[in-house]
Chains A and B, each alone.
Chain A
Amino acid sequence: MESLLASNSASERTQSPYVTGTSVVSIKYKDGILMAADMGGSYGSTLRYKSVERMKPIGKHSLLGASGEISDFQEILRYLDELILYDNMWDDGNSLGPKEVHNYLTRVMYNRRNKFNPLWNSLVLGGVKNGQKYLGMVSMIGVHFEDNHVATGFGNHLARPILRDEWREDLSFEDGVKLLEKCMRVLLYRDRSAVNKLQIAKITEEGVTISPPYSLKTFWGYKAFENPTVGAEGSW
């Protein structure tokens, strides 16, 4: 294994990411899927980009959200554009649903890991087709699953415990957005690479809508925030 890796190190393979996006959080709700992601693009610990769209519609029935390497995500979008285009050219009235797109992504991610050239992303795929809601995830190395709510990266640590407490199958749109905003606020406070500029996307039988960027109301006036070193003085 070591020799395999060493011989590959000279060629162009992503062994670590450059510009990355942080968590994506997504839930099923009454009429479909809701998804939230902020718009930051980090270059290591530098906040390099502030208007990165990390959620995109795929075909008529799917919505894709990504965390991880932004350039790899954009390449995946090119793959999917081609996939949807070629599917469209059959002109047979059939179209790929979220299940098919998720399965395709699963194979692409796993295939790239088999070539030791991974696409450095965690992907979230949501969608609705024929009244069936679908929500799934794929990781960098091809691990994949479906669930009623999913979150990538820090979201799996900070948002999913909230979702396990408060998520219900028949959540209304308003309550769903409130729940996602609660998760995104926690992430904003605790995830240093999260930024206060986010979008929420919705997909139903009617199609995809992605909200314009907006920010969450925050409160930094807690006593403990004002002088955090009180009682823990340094040497100078």
Chain B
Amino acid sequence: MTKQQANWSPYDNNGGSVVAIAGADYCVVAADTRMSTGYSILTREYSKICQLADKSFLASSGFQADVRALQKQLAARHLIYQHQHNKQMSCPAMAQLLSNTLYYKRFFPYYAFNVLGGLDNEGKGCVFTYDAVGSYERVGYSSQGSGSTLIIPFLDNQLKSPSPLLLPAQDAVTPLSEAEAIDLVKTVFASATERDIYTGDKLEIVILNAAGTRREYMELRKD
């Protein structure tokens, strides 16, 4: 029989955009809740944000099955960490663990594009941004996923972060207030949803600060 199907692929791209912004004393992590395959929507309510520790939140897009496997792996490693050290892992430590976990599968990678947001041990906002095989960098803000090409230039324009080449090194945090950052996140998602078919349905925002963690939701276009 002649072959009718295209060659099978172990990967899929389930789309979606994620954003995180770090401030002096807060961090905002956001993602839409649409999950797609090809031109079809699978569900309009799938959370891409995962709490890995008290003060670290992972937002991921890419291949959902790999993302879930990655989240489970990190959750298991964090449980062991808690048993061994009797404390929650810090966000920078989780960032290194995530990098190592991704690189461990360098030759059959997790097709996952991650932004890790949280507060460091000084209570300062931190954002780490990754590629699929574990290269990472601490930044003041970042976006990954299907809408990132639309979102990043807008954030660059609005946040005017100091160049990482400047000496002495400048703080990577953004000058915005928490409320301004939340507003900015809502704006970038509303805009990305207009042009990116894989972004939409609903926006989930996690806000971390000294007071704790809270969530906000905003409806996005459903077409």
Contact = CB atoms under 8 A, between A and B. Distances in A.
B69 interface: yes
B3 A144 contact: no
Interface stretch (A26-34, A108-116, A177-185, A225-233): A108-116
B82 to A, nearest CB: 23
A50 interface: no
Nearest to B45: A147
A215 interface: no
A15 B7 contact: yes
B174 interface: no
Contact of A156 (B14, B40, B46): B40
B11 A16 contact: no
Interface residues of B, number: 24
Interface in B171-194: none
Interface residues of A, number: 22
Interface in B80-122: 108
Contacts of A113: 10, 65
Contact of B65 (A17, A44, A143, A147): A143
A143 B10 contact: no
B10, B35, B37, B64 pick with most chain A CB within 10 angstroms: B10
Nearest to A17: B5
A145 B8 contact: no
Given A143-B42, A143-B65, A145-B35, A44 B14 contact: no
Interface string B37-70: 1001011011000000000000000011100110
B1, B7, B68 pick with most chain A CB within 10 angstroms: B68
A235 B35 CA distance: 47
A145 B3 contact: no
A165 B212 CA distance: 39
A40 interface: no
A16 B4 contact: yes
B14 A16 contact: no
Contacts of A143: 12, 14, 37, 42, 63-65
A142 B14 CA distance: 12
B64 A144 contact: yes
Contacts of B7: 5, 15
B40 A145 contact: no
A127 interface: no
A59 interface: no
Nearest to B69: A110
A144 B108 CA distance: 20
A153 B7 CA distance: 18
A5, A44, A141, A144 pick with most chain B CB within 10 angstroms: A141
Nearest to A15: B8
A141 B69 contact: no
Interface string A2-24: 00010000000001110000000
Interface string A189-221: 000000000000000000000000000000000
A65 interface: no
Contacts of A157: 40
A118 interface: yes
Nearest to A113: B10
A188 B45 CA distance: 29
B65 A156 contact: no
Interface in A128-144: 137, 139, 141-144
B115 to A, nearest CB: 21
A145 B63 CA distance: 13
Nearest to B3: A16
A15 B3 CA distance: 10
Nearest to B65: A142
B46 A110 contact: no
B46, B64, B65 pick with most chain A CB within 10 angstroms: B65
A144 B10 CA distance: 14
16 contacts: A5-B7, A15-B7, A15-B8, A16-B3, A16-B5, A16-B8, A17-B5, A113-B10, A118-B10, A141-B63, A144-B64, A144-B68, A145-B35, A145-B43, A147-B43, A156-B42
Given A106-B68, A143-B64, A144-B64, 4 more contacts: A15-B7, A114-B10, A141-B12, A145-B43
Nearest 5 pairs of A and B residues by beta carbon: A142-B65, A145-B43, A147-B43, A143-B64, A143-B65
